[in-house]
Amino acid sequence: MVVFFEFALGLGLLFWGMRLLKLGLENAAGAGFKALLRRLTVNPVSGLLTGTVLTALIQSSTAVTVFSMSFVNAGLMSFEQALGIILGSNIGSTITAQLMVFNLSTYALPALALGGILFTVAKHNLKWLGLALMGFALVFHGISIMGESLKPLGASPQLTGFLHTLGDNHSLGIIAGMTLAGLIHSSGVTTGMVIVLASQNMITASTGIAIVLGANVGTCFTALLAAIGADRGAKRVAIAHLLLNTIGVLVCYPLLHPFAAVMSRLSPDLGRQVAHAHTFFNIISSLLILPVLKPFVRLVYFLVPKE
């Protein structure tokens, strides 16, 4: 029970931190960045770069996708412009995973204190940057607590037996990742949990990668829900997001073991291997779609026709 409550505390701080980080950066940017966003998505490449930066700042690919849907729904952006942002959001979502493998928890409490002071006494943009700093601190403090809470479980034969079974069935790992990311509406949090488990040597790298692949699909469920009642342009954005991530997972699944072997050459740490796999998967899948973007757009229009 102690392990459960400590882990729940860390997970709660992780959720809360990501929420504060998102709110702080959104408010610091102000309404003017929406007009700027439209100007920065005139072609797929610039849209990809914009989506990458925006998601890295907001720390939520789901939020960026839903935000793009609202623009299309309002007629402020075309489906093709939104598609570039989605490609970039998949890449930008990997920044959080890369940061998670660094031990930044030492600076979490000082950053939390500084952010609290700024949020209390500052005004305008600096106030919201203080809130974002508080969120950043809570994210890494929560990860630290989660990691410490899981250490005693390393000796649990029941848990190690379950994880071993999961490791032998990567399809089950993908389904688990889809389910978890769909339920909590965040592939970032799911990836963070997997990195913690891998860092504690509680799952293999290939198992962690399988769960993360599933999380990339599961995170699309929020956008699909948001598309209910929206116009066809917004529905196309949601379907395109689901197709992009699903196709990427289907292509990567048969190559899971070689992919994990390549990641193991980059770092001996299992947590870093999972983070690197998450990054490489999203970068490669987004870049590979650029040369065939027009046929992909036609496919989405076929699935969601004008009438």
Q: How far apart are CA 78 and CA 57, in angstroms?
A: 23
CA separation, residue 281 to residues 49, 183, 216 (Å): 17, 22, 10
Q: Where exactly are the structural domains of the chain?
A: 2-303
Is the pLDDT reported for residue 202 higher than 80?
no
Is the pLDDT reported for residue 63 higher than 80?
no
Q: What is the mean pLDDT of the chain?
A: 78
Mean pLDDT to the nearest integer, 143-152: 67
Q: How far apart are CA 86 and CA 90, in angstroms?
A: 6
Between residues 284 and 41, which one has the greater pLDDT?
A: 284
Encode pLDDT of 260-307 as tens digits. Answer: 888 888 888 888 888 888 888 888 888 888 888 888 888 988 888 876
DSSP calls for 120-189: HH--HHHHHHHHHHHHHHHHHHHHHHHHHHHGGGGG-HHHHHHHHHHHT-HHHHHHHHHHHHHHHT-HHH
